[in-house]
Structure formats: structure tokens, C-alpha cells
Amino acid sequence: MEEKKMIYLNDFLQRNNVNLWQCFETVREGLEGLRSCYAEDLRYKENELELVKIIVVDAVFVVEVLLKCSGIGLRGDNDRMFNEWILSAVRTELLLLENQLPFFILEDLWWLGTKGYLSLKRYCYDFFLQNNFLKENEKCWEQLRPKHLLDLLRMFYEPASSTAQGQDGQQHSSCAAQTVLCIPNAKAEDEPVLCIPNATRLHEAGDLYVGA
């Protein structure tokens, strides 16, 4: 996988006519914010460049996977990454908590090399959820502020009542819930969006789950 990451890094640099130091500088500018995202102090205090290198390689790999999976003609004919079982494993790996990168780092590198493409959140949605319900709600999703990829996926699924932070927060969460859960828009202001109850509420209502 490390070899594949280096191949994708080279693809990113050549296709977008950027050099490695531009990527390093982009990450280095966000290094203080990056360190604050982790509970434990990151190592490499004496070698900041080594930390930046690791972040650049991993973040560009995520960007390239999203782009190459989008069907816009960027993948090579012999790229074995796009066997379905490998892609499934990659999706799982990218969502492991220990593999999360700060979302702002991904966005900074995304816009460095993909200024002509759609938003990173749109590509994440297509890659992880793989359905066609996004278009009408894309604008409100752009106002979400995820911490990382896993947090973004949570926001896509989360119903309005769980994330309402005033009227705007409720509206953005409703968009995600309506889109992912295929819930139609309310017809009037006094007609709330219906969301699937969580397991606790179903249990309290008397629904029992019996193991097979």
C-alpha cells in the first residue's frame, strides 16, 4: 500500500502541475490546528518535516482515491485498486478511527490540486454511500463542518433532532436525513420531517429484537 501511495502522490503532482513543496507548505501552515485535533501530543517534534511528509502522503492518497473512483477518466487501465474487493477494503480502512485525518487538511490539498472539480464532500458522499440522492441538497451539505471523514459520514446519516444547533443546524441535518434515508420534504412548516427512530426508542415503544 505504501508503494501505491507514492504512485498516487506522483499522479497528483503531475496532473495538477504542483510540486511536492507546495503540498508540504500547505500542510505545514495547518500544523498547529492539526496537532490540536489529537488527544495525545504527536511525535516528530524534532523533525517537523517528517510529520508533514506523512500527512501529505496519506492525505493525497485519500484525494486520489476519491477522484479516481469518480469515473472522470483518471484511473490507469492496469490499476488493481479498482477491483471491487480491494475498494471495499479501502473504504473500511479510510473510516477506521485510527486512520482519520483532519478534514481541513484534506480540503486544503483537495483545492490545491482540483480547483476545477466539485466539492470534496460531494466526492466523499459518492464514494462511501454510492447513491444518487445528493443533488438537491448539496448546498446545505457544504455548510457542514466535519472533523474528519468518519464525522462527515455521521453527519450524512444523522437525523435533524440529534444535531439541531438552532434553526440552521436543524435545516442542515434535515437535508442529510432526507437525502440518505429517502424521506420526502415536509409539505408545510408545521409538518415535521419524520426520521427513523433509534434502537432505544423502538425498544421503549415495545418493539423487540430477537437474534437468529
Half-sphere exposure of 171 (CA within 13 A, CB side): 10
Instruction: Say if residue 96 is in the same domain as residue 181.
Output: no
pLDDT band for position 86 (cuts 50, 70, 90): confident
- The total number of structural domains in the chain stands at 2
The last residue of one of the domains, among 96, 116, 136, is 116
Most distant CA pair in the chain: distance in Å? 60
Share of the chain above pLDDT 70, in %: 61
In a domain, 196, yes or no: yes
Full domain range(s) for residue 112: 2-116
Q: Do 51 and 38 contact (CB within 8 A), yes or no?
A: no
Lowest mean pLDDT across 5-19, 38-52, 55-69, 138-152: 38-52
In a domain, 211, yes or no: no
Instruction: Say if residue 111 is in the same domain as residue 136.
Output: no
Look at residue 63 and tell me whether its pLDDT is greater than 90.
yes
Instruction: Say if residue 112 is in the same domain as residue 8.
Output: yes
Report CA-CA distances (Å) from 20 to 4, 97, 116, 153, 168: 17, 27, 20, 30, 39
Instruction: Say if residue 109 is in the same domain as residue 195.
Output: no
Instruction: Say if residue 92 is in the same domain as residue 17.
Output: yes
pTM of the predicted model as reported, rounded to 2 decimal places: 0.69
Q: Do 140 and 180 contact (CB within 8 A), yes or no?
A: no
